[in-house]
């Protein structure tokens, strides 16, 4: 398959952290290829390296060894500013906690990412605002909630805004960190279904880290991570 | 400014509180600036307004000359030497002394300037003083209700008012001008105090100074020779300087706390692709809005307060003179904020992914 159809590819990735006099291995010879429109779930106990995997895939951490290709680009050869630009262009992150900015309404949570990408001109375009409204509607946030700030939204609604924000830049890669951990079973199931749907609709290569068995059942592939090693 | 403006609206209580602090500091700084300018005018406008390029100071008895109106005297030899020096168009002897003016309506201290008509401030009424005459400044004429032809007593001498000049003061006393012979008579000084020099090209001032034992400075610098002027202005400028430092520190402290509180949001913005430069610019724009709003409001309050204060204290302030302290407040406040928001660059976007958990 070409890079265009495999937006995310990790090959023999190794990542260690300093721990006193020694180094802890967070990722050990990890390989992962995720196709466009594919939802890959990664399960594993706490401390097994799931979040490290997401951080490396999001270009937030540089591995000690191995290669990471994102949207067809070898991340290893890029400088910090170029990695940030690539992340802005090609990656959407759904955080475990919604991490919404308290001063922004739901629509503005999305528009701020457009501002980062295109400056003020992007915001002047009414189409950006309309697209944000449509995206929020598509993740199930009704019109009355779109003008509200985070403190006036429920946990489930905040998570929907979190997902919409990650999708607003039409990323090729969607990285999702424990999206249901703060939600009850019913709302968690709805969010999991929503993630599967957006992966299909938007054609993203989605990596979802979770403990939630209900979410695992909706993935195209489930990988298990133990002590930094990834296995089917 | 996308996030900055929305933060200003959202956290309006915190920013309003900080805005009030900036406003109060700006009011204090600008008001103090007006007072400083007013006192400077009151102590130096007569010297600063002299139509001369340089002022030459002498010293009696061959002592080392200093830039001091109270210590200086110039000899006839020094007057002749400067008049004959190359590149000197005019060297006018000028007498400066303090005396007491007495009229029927009352009495008060005045500064007595004795010199040729060429050095006289602009006359608003009457003519330049001749022998036994005096031209009083507008403040003296206003205070004592004097008009041309009135008699006044300066020290122990009776003089006739020949004219009224623009308002000028020296060492916080309004000026009265006479010709030099009358000045000698009234003040009791045998020699003039300084020389007012008008230079053409080619004057070698240091060489003439060395030869004639004088100390010559530009007219603007000669105000430092007015007793108490330097100490008074120095003290007020020091207080202003301290207020500028306080403004920078307070702004820096506020934005330090604000930045620390926003670390999680900054991490998220970085994780979704914001560069440190973008975030620093955003934060500085926020600081600029706060500082501009606060200082302009403070300057407005100080200008309004000055309109009231000017009735009782020397106060000079207008939009033009308020500009430098306002600009200094904004620039120093931004510098303080700049040091604070540098912390943005150290925020790790990884923490948005819960790296700390």
Tens-binned pLDDT, residue by residue, of chain B (357 aa): 889 999 999 999 999 999 999 999 999 999 999 999 999 988 999 999 999 999 999 988 778 999 999 999 999 999 999 999 999 999 999 999 999 999 988 999 999 999 999 999 999 999 999 999 999 999 999 999 999 999 999 999 999 999 999 999 999 999 999 999 999 999 999 999 999 999 988 889 999 999 999 999 999 999 999 988 888 999 999 999 999 999 899 999 999 999 999 999 999 999 999 999 999 999 999 999 999 999 999 999 999 998 888 888 888 888 777 899 999 999 999 999 999 988 899 999 988 887 543
A134 occurs within a structural domain: yes
Q: Identify all chain A residues contacting B279, using CB atoms and an 8 Å cutoff.
A: none
Which residue of B3, B6, B271 is in closest CB contact with A93? B271
Average predicted confidence (pLDDT) for chain A: 88
Residue of B nearest to A58 (CA): B271
Residue of B nearest to A165 (CA): B272
Nearest one of A201, A197, A156 to A179, comparing CA atoms? A156
Cβ–Cβ under 8 Å, residues A136 and A161: yes
Does A123 sit within 8 Å of B2, measured CB to CB? yes
Cβ–Cβ under 8 Å, residues B2 and B274: no
Nearest one of B109, B115, B141, B112 to B128, comparing CA atoms? B115
A200 occurs within a structural domain: yes
A155 occurs within a structural domain: yes
Q: State the pLDDT at residue B357.
A: 39
Nearest one of B298, B286, B252, B282 to B345, comparing CA atoms? B282
Does B354 sit within 8 Å of A93, measured CB to CB? no
Q: What is the ipTM of this complex?
A: 0.88
A1 occurs within a structural domain: no
Residue of A nearest to B349 (CA): A60
Cβ–Cβ under 8 Å, residues B55 and B197: yes
More confident residue, A186 or B330: B330
Q: Is the pLDDT of residue A164 over 60?
A: yes
Q: How far apart are CA B180 and CA B254, in angstroms?
A: 61
Residue B112's SS3 state is strand
Cβ–Cβ under 8 Å, residues B67 and B217: yes
**Among all chains, which residue has been given the structure tokens 């009704």?**
A142
Helix (H) or strand (E) holding A164: helix A155-168
Up-side HSE of residue B65: CA atoms within 13 Å toward CB?
Answer: 24
A49 occurs within a structural domain: yes
Which residue of B7, B265, B271 is in closest CB contact with A60? B271
How confident is residue A155, by pLDDT bands cut at 50, 70 and 90?
A: confident
Quote the number of domains for chain A.
1
Q: CATH number, domain at A43?
A: 3.40.50.300
Q: Identify all chain B residues contacting A87, using CB atoms and an 8 Å cutoff.
A: 271-273
How confident is residue A1, by pLDDT bands cut at 50, 70 and 90?
A: very low
* Interface of chain A toward chain B, CB-CB under 8 angstroms: 51, 54-55, 58, 60-61, 81, 84-85, 87-89, 91, 93, 95-97, 99, 101-104, 108, 111-113, 115-117, 123, 149, 165-166, 169, 177
* Interface of chain B toward chain A, CB-CB under 8 angstroms: 2-3, 6-7, 9-11, 264-265, 268-275, 278, 349-350, 352-355
A182 occurs within a structural domain: yes
Does A87 sit within 8 Å of B264, measured CB to CB? no
A2 occurs within a structural domain: no
Q: How far apart are CA B241 and CA B263, in angstroms?
A: 33
Residue of B nearest to A89 (CA): B273
Nearest one of B253, B265, B330, B273 to B30, comparing CA atoms? B330
Q: How many CB pairs under 8 A join A and B?
A: 80
Q: Is the pLDDT of residue A4 over 80?
A: no
Which residue of B264, B269, B350 is in closest CB contact with A55? B350
More confident residue, B111 or A216: B111
A38 occurs within a structural domain: yes
Q: How far apart are CA A3 and CA A227, in angstroms?
A: 29
**Among all chains, which residue has been given the structure tokens 């990884």?**
B350
Can you give the residue range of the structural domain that contains A163?
8-231
Angle ∠(B168,B137,B119) on CA atoms, nearest 5: 65
User: What DSSP assignment string belongs to A91-141?
Assistant: EEEE-SS----TTS-HHHHHHHHHHHHHHHHHHH-HHHHHHHHHHHHHTT-
Does B271 sit within 8 Å of A58, measured CB to CB? yes
Strand partners of residue A13: A30
Which residue of A87, A103, A115 is in closest CB contact with B10? A103
Q: Is the pLDDT of residue A90 over 60?
A: yes
Q: How far apart are CA B172 and CA A67, in angstroms?
A: 80
Residue of A nearest to B348 (CA): A60
Q: How far apart are CA A66 and CA B203, in angstroms?
A: 79
DSSP state of A211: -
Best probe of the B interface among A47, A101, A209, by most B CBs < 10 A, is: A101
Angle ∠(B249,B254,B255) on CA atoms, nearest 5: 100
Q: Is the pLDDT of residue A121 over 80?
A: no
């Amino acid at each position: 398959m070409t890079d265009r159809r495999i937006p995310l590819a990790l090959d023999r990735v190794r990542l260690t952290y300093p721990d006193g006099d020694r180094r802890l291995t967070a990722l050990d010879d990890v390989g992962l290829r995720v196709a466009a429109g594919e939802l890959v779930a990664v399960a594993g106990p706490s401390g097994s390296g799931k979040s490290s995997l997401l951080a490396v895939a999001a270009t937030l951490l540089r591995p000690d060894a191995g290669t990471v290709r994102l949207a067809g680009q070898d991340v290893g050869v890029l400088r910090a500013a170029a990695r940030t630009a690539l992340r802005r262009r090609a990656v959407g992150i759904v955080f475990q906690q919604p991490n919404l900015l308290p001063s922004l309404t739901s629509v503005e949570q999305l528009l701020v990412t457009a501002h980062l990408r295109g400056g003020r001109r992007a915001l002047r375009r009414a189409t950006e605002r309309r697209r944000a409204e449509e995206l929020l509607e598509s993740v199930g946030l009704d019109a009355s909630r779109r003008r509200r700030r985070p403190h006036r939204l429920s946990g489930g609604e905040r998570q929907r805004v979190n997902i919409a924000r990650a999708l607003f830049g039409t990323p090729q890669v969607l990285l999702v960190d424990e999206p249901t951990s703060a939600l009850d079973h019913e709302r968690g199931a709805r969010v999991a279904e929503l993630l599967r749907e957006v992966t299909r609709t938007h054609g993203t290569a989605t990596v979802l880290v979770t403990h939630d068995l209900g979410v695992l059942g909706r993935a195209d592939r489930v990988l298990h991570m133990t002590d930094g090693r990834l296995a089917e | 400014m996308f996030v900055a403006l929305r933060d200003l609206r959202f956290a309006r209580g915190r920013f309003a509180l900080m805005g009030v602090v900036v406003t109060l500091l700006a009011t204090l700084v600008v008001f103090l600036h007006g007072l400083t300018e007013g006192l400077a005018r009151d102590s130096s406008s007569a010297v600063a307004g002299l139509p001369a390029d340089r002022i030459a100071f002498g010293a009696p008895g061959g002592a080392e000359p200093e830039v001091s109106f109270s210590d200086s005297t110039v000899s006839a030899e020094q007057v002749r030497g400067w008049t004959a020096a190359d590149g000197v168009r005019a060297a006018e002897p000028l007498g400066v002394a303090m005396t007491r003016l007495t009229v029927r309506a009352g009495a008060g201290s005045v500064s007595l300037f004795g010199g040729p008509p060429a050095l006289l401030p602009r006359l608003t009424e009457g003519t330049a003083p001749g022998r036994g005459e005096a031209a009083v400044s507008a403040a003296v004429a206003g205070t004592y209700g004097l008009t041309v032809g009135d008699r006044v007593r300066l020290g122990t001498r009776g003089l006739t008012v020949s004219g009224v000049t623009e308002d000028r003061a020296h060492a916080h006393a309004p000026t009265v001008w006479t010709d030099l012979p009358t000045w000698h008579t009234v003040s009791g000084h045998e020699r003039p105090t300084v020389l007012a020099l008008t230079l053409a090209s080619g004057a070698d001032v240091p060489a003439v100074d060395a030869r004639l034992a004088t100390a010559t400075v530009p007219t603007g610098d000669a105000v430092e020779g007015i007793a108490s002027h330097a100490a008074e202005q120095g003290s007020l400028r020091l207080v202003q300087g301290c207020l500028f430092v306080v403004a920078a520190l307070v702004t820096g402290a506020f934005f330090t706390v604000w930045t620390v509180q926003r670390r999680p949001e900054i991490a998220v913005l970085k994780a979704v692709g914001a560069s440190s430069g973008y975030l620093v610019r955003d934060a500085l724009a926020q600081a600029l809005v706060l500082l501009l709003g606060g200082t302009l409001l403070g300057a407005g309050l100080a200008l309004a307060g000055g309109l009231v204060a000017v009735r009782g204290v020397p106060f000079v302030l207008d939009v033009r003179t308020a500009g430098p302290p306002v600009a200094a407040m904004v620039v120093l406040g931004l510098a303080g904020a700049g040091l604070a928001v540098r912390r943005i660059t150290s925020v790790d976007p990884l923490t948005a992914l819960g790296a700390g958990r």
